[in-house]
Structure 1
Amino acid sequence: MKGLRHKTKGDKVIWAAVFLLVVISLLVVYSATGSLAYKMYKGNTEVYLFKQTAFIAVGLCVIYFAHRVNYTIYAKVAKVLFLFSIPLLIYTLFFGVTLNEGSRWIRLPIVNMTMQTSDLAKLALFMFLARMLSRRQNHIKDFKKGFLPVIIPVAVTCLLIAPANLSTALLLGVSCMLLLFIGRVNGKHLLLVIGAALIPVSALILAAVIKHKSVDEDAVVKKEKSSKLTARVDTWISRVEGFVYGTKDDDLQSTYHVNQMKIAIANGGFLGMGPGNSTQRNFTPHPYSDSIYSTIIEEYGLVGGALIIFIYLVFLYRSIRLYKRCPYAFGAFLALGLSFTLVLQALTNMMVNVNLFPITGVTLPLVSMGGSSFLFTCLSIGIILSVARNVEQLEGKKERQENAAAQKANEEQEVDVEDAEEALVV
């Protein structure tokens, strides 16, 4: 155990945040899946608890081994990984496993587990983007030499993710814009991209308003005959409509979802109903993944909900601090980009649960029930800790050199004093 602790380096506050979140995950996932496991596995309520424990164990191993790798290795594989992720996204879009009218997953042949390819694409994009930003700082203000080479990968990745998972594409785009802004990209160029992105978003909101004012009786028939992409657009419009107009349409699935989360939060109050005492877990869709934050508030109250927010904000603060301490641009951009996307995802999930954002399919990082997304989150955190570990080593080396130089200077000063004393005696 001592040897493992000695080999575990990096930011200790980030390590503590990770352990707190996975402990909370075990408690809440066990509570949220108890009834489901009882129905699915004939009375065995611990099935999902054991699965989550296994995912956490594997995830912590991923973090450990990823943080032991020198982060400069990730710069070398960034381009290959990004070029691999693009055809993988295209394949997923047309031939992936279809769920909820969207193709987001592929099935891995050996382990027979589905993987959301957008998770791999996000990680590859941030590696590639950090690499490009660090290498083009001298030309970053130039439109052709600096801006286009970094914005094209972002646009391609987001456009390929958007048809099946619009919320992930939007969050990825926002995270990348923040990173590009910090990477000294020209503000006018960024405003141009934001203006272009607002066009389809405005069209989506307008479509929701029009749909609400003119209800089509044949909407269900049209939806059955529509393509996958058209069906996804209908889903987006319905979710925006439910968010804007509330509970007017009781048949709207997103409205039901929001109402159940509101009831859970109202039940929780300030201190909550206590661990395992949630009642809305039996009614709220996906109380162990998308809606897990409302389950946390129901059982642990506003105090528990505030604690979760505090942990993620501390994680972000330590990552920003790491960005300032890192002497090399690639490591600084990589750590900050990955932390941005994780914290933005967490904040979006929590905003959805408290009805400050339309319904999305994003999970709460490190807290929602495990899957491929959980493991990729662990890999991202491992990479951030790899940057922190190398920064600590560089700072330790610099401190040792400064101490050695100070000690040598003191020794030389003592010799000079002794020589002076001998001269006085003579």
Structure 2
Amino acid sequence: MDTTGNQANQKLPLQGAGGLSAILSNVKGDRWIWLIVLMLSTISMLAVYSSIGTLAYTRGVGVESILMKHMFMIIAGIILMYVSHRLDYRYYAGISKILMIVTIPLLLFTLFFGSHINHASRWLAIPGTGLSFQTSDLAKLALITYLARILSRKQENIKDVKNSFIPIMGSVCVIFALIGPANLSTGLMLFGVSILLLIMGRISIKQIAVVCVAGMFLLTAMLFLGSRRATHISRVKAFFHPELADKDKLFQGNHAKIAIATGGFFGKGPGRSTERNYLPEAFSDEIFAIIVEEYGLFGGIVVISIYLFLLYRCIKIVTKAPKAFGALLAAGLSFSLTIQAFANMAVAVGLGPVTGVSLPLVSMGGTSILFTSIAFGIILSVSRDIDEPKKVVVGEIREA
């Protein structure tokens, strides 16, 4: 009897398993962070599917088509995360210079000629794709990687005003000045992350105070002279004095609070949110409110715990990183992600004025998911360098 065909059929599953194991063997870095990404992606799919009904109706398309686009962005983000984590993190030092050279002209162009959505010029259209992206997402990667590079390389003469401090202060203030007019909340968070990096980089308190004073001056100019000054001032007034604010200024915040208050401990159940029909940005800025409404306080605590655990794992990476550049890079990116996450959740529960900040890897954000995934990939690249054994090559020790 000819058993060749049966033998071939028996080998196919093994070959498939071997291919999968080969892919998994190339997945390096902190496995807990990979698990966190998968958990946040799953939560995102569930929450976005529940909250895009009104958006689909206004666009005249099916809910499934929007969900499939979101799923494609998540898959593309995981691919980018895999690619960026395979690249040795030390290459990002050189890439940071290119990113800064590209980012500043893009921010200028966006500020004057970008697409206006919700009275803010934050987006640039990508020709031929039908997609647009916020240049501030690129600016976050550029500034954090650049600061990590310059702080790590200038440690020996970190107090040198001309060669060290002025380039550092200039980069922070220029990026803040270009992001702030259209996206003040993102600019403030990035400025705060930059100050944390300066502290970690052993910049003197006096020099940090100078940067803060310059930041306050720029913030004051944006609040009183910027094109969106009325929006910024009205949101702050509505937060501190809701009894004096117009009802339309309180609409989003009030319905977010209703969603959270009616969720109870275990929530109304998946897909049973009612406030998704009222919240204007239920799938993006206010997605945490929808999660709490449908999955209750328990679901909200789970999401908060995931981001806290992410911060914990990143801090472990920072403390174990053998090089200053890797430590500063992982610290800056992890602070940026977690501060953004908690800022979004704070707004949803009424602890801050309304902003346009999304929940990383959970909100439906298109290309913002891609930039967030790259940030995760860079953090994983630093952790990969920690985990892999050392090899001696031509008399010097190099990380494998």
- Do both share a fold (TM > 0.5)? yes
Q: Counterpart of 1:226?
A: none
The residue type equivalent to 2:25 in the other structure is H
1:45 Cα deviation after fit: 2.7
Q: Does 1:14 align with 2:33?
A: yes
TM-score, normalising length: structure 1:
0.84
The residue type equivalent to 1:316 in the other structure is L
Q: Does 1:393 align with 2:388?
A: yes
Decide which of 366, 383, 389 is 1:371's aligned counterpart: 366
The worse-fitting range, judged by mean Cα deviation, of 302-311 and 190-199 is: 190-199
Output one character per residue of 1:81-110: Cα deviation in whole Å (capped at 9) or x when no partner.
111111111111111111222211111112
1:12 Cα deviation after fit: 0.7
Q: Does 1:306 align with 2:325?
A: no
Q: In the aligned structure 1, how far is the partner of 2:150 from the partner of 2:374? A: 21
Q: 1:204 to 1:86 in 2, by over 3 A?
A: closer
Q: Residue 175 of structure 2: SS of its match in structure 1?
A: helix
Q: Does 1:94 align with 2:112?
A: yes
Question: Identity rate of aligned residues, in percent?
Answer: 47
Q: Counterpart of 1:71?
A: 89
Q: 1:269 to 1:234 in 2, by over 3 A?
A: same
Give the structure with higher Rg (CA). 1
Q: Counterpart of 1:412?
A: none
1:286 Cα deviation after fit: 0.6
Q: Is the 8 A contact 2:237 2:245 kept in 1?
A: no
The residue type equivalent to 2:49 in the other structure is Y
Q: In the aligned structure 2, how far is the partner of 1:108 from the partner of 1:38? A: 25
Decide which of 154, 161, 170 is 2:188's aligned counterpart: 170
Q: 1:20 to 1:167 in 2, by over 3 A?
A: same
Q: Does 1:132 align with 2:127?
A: no
Q: Residue 105 of structure 1: SS of its match in structure 2?
A: strand
Q: Residue 127 of structure 1: SS of its match in structure 2?
A: helix
Q: How does 1:156-195 map to 2 (within 5 A)?
A: 156-195=174-213
The residue type equivalent to 2:297 in the other structure is L
Q: In the aligned structure 1, how far is the partner of 2:247 from the partner of 2:64? A: 34
Q: In the aligned structure 1, how far is the partner of 2:265 from the partner of 2:219? A: 36
Q: In the aligned structure 2, how far is the partner of 1:105 from the partner of 1:202? A: 24
Q: Counterpart of 1:270?
A: 265
Q: Does 1:350 align with 2:368?
A: no
Q: Residue 252 of structure 1: SS of its match in structure 2?
A: helix
Decide which of 212, 233, 245 is 1:237's aligned counterpart: 233
Q: In the aligned structure 1, how far is the partner of 2:246 from the partner of 2:45? A: 34
1:370 Cα deviation after fit: 3.2
1:13 Cα deviation after fit: 0.9
Output one character per residue of 1:254-299: Cα deviation in whole Å (capped at 9) or x when no partner.
x111111010011112211111111000001110000001011101
Decide which of 318, 325, 331 is 1:323's aligned counterpart: 318
The residue type equivalent to 1:323 in the other structure is V
Q: In the aligned structure 2, how far is the partner of 1:185 from the partner of 1:280? A: 47
Q: Is the 8 A contact 1:204 1:237 kept in 2?
A: no
Q: In the aligned structure 2, how far is the partner of 1:272 from the partner of 1:195? A: 45
Q: Counterpart of 2:248?
A: 252
1:35 Cα deviation after fit: 4.0
Unaligned 5+ segments in structure 1 are: 208-228, 399-426
Q: In the aligned structure 2, how far is the partner of 1:230 from the partner of 1:147? A: 28
Q: 1:200 to 1:247 in 2, by over 3 A?
A: farther
Q: 1:155 to 1:231 in 2, by over 3 A?
A: closer
The residue type equivalent to 2:198 in the other structure is L
The residue type equivalent to 1:250 in the other structure is D
Q: In the aligned structure 2, how far is the partner of 1:293 from the partner of 1:82? A: 33
Q: Is the 8 A contact 1:62 1:375 kept in 2?
A: yes
What do you get for the CA RMSD once the two structures are aligned?
1.9
